[in-house]
Amino acid sequence: MTGFASAARATPAGLLSVELRSVNSRFLDLSLRIGDELRMLEAAVREAVGARIARGKIECRVWLQRQAGTQSASLNAEALAALARLAQQVQKAVPTATPMTVASLLAWEGIVETPAVDFEALRAECLAALGEALHALSASRSREGAALAAALRERCDGVDTVVAQVRARAPELLAALERKLHERLEKALVPALGGSGTISREELIDRIRQEVTLYGLRADVEEELNRLSTHVTEVRRVLAQGGAVGRRLDFLMQELNREANTLGSKAAAIEMTQAAVELKLLIEQMREQIQNLE
């Protein structure tokens, strides 16, 4: 699910800031951008994010902004004097050499000294800021999840409506189909075989009745309708349970789609074909939304 959160903590080393951005993804894809001075915290940050978030493309940015008044820097007098002597020697040996500027002097390693950073204290502050940002991100994702759950329940209602309509019309449609098939078989076979002497008219009609009955059994969709209703009930239960439900709902969408396909393959009338298409549309809409759930 999408979301954004940030947190900041003032530390002796400077202002420590954490930003989290989340977009949809079926799996956890963590992209970490962290300053070089905080690189030692990378493993702890990854572990903390992975413990709180299971799905989503997450961009985590952690940086330290040094501020005036924090960890005042000082010059290393001995190193500066040694560098000055070296510069004089260079000037004497190469009079045309460009003299060192203040910026180049300060950039020389060892000239500017800063107090040592308390790593453990900085680590604790970083994890505290990260925890605050993760909490805010989870709250944002939870609000979006509630809206998605409402949309999924609405689609579940749509599936239930289609199933109820098919269940109400199925006996009538199947009976009409059996009558039509019986009439066609009788019209085609009775004149052709009735006078052959090998089979009586009554036996032929009884055989036609058996074939029509077998066809009716194969075209019966009550089992598929029952499974569709069962899967929809499970979707509602999983949504009500809460927590990380994305993968469970992914599986249920596969099962719902399988039953809709079977219903379509058994369609004995245009009404059933239309119902199967509508079911697949509702299931696909749910499947797309579920990709956004953790």
Question: Tell me: the pLDDT tens digits for 92-139?
Answer: 888 888 888 888 877 777 777 665 667 888 889 999 999 999 999 888
pTM score, whole prediction: 0.56
pLDDT at 210: 58
Question: Regarding the domain with residue range 3-69+119-141, which homologous superfamily does it belong to in the CATH classification?
Answer: GHMP Kinase, N-terminal domain (3.30.230.70)
Segments of the chain scoring below 70 in pLDDT: 1, 67-73, 113-117, 173-220, 267-269, 294
Evaluate whether 34 touches 41 at the Cβ level (below 8 Å): yes
DSSP 156-216: HHHHHHHHHHHHHHHHHHHHHHHHHHHHHHHHHHHHHHTTSSSS-HHHHHHHHHHHHHHHH
Pairing relationship of beta strands 14-23 and 56-65 according to DSSP bridges: antiparallel
- How many H helices and E strands in the chain? 8, 6
Give dist(CA 167, CA 119) in Å, integer. 68
**Segments making up each domain of the chain, as ranges:** 3-69+119-141, 74-113, 144-290
Q: Which residue spans within the chain are E strands per DSSP? A: 3-11, 14-23, 28-34, 56-65, 74-75, 112-113
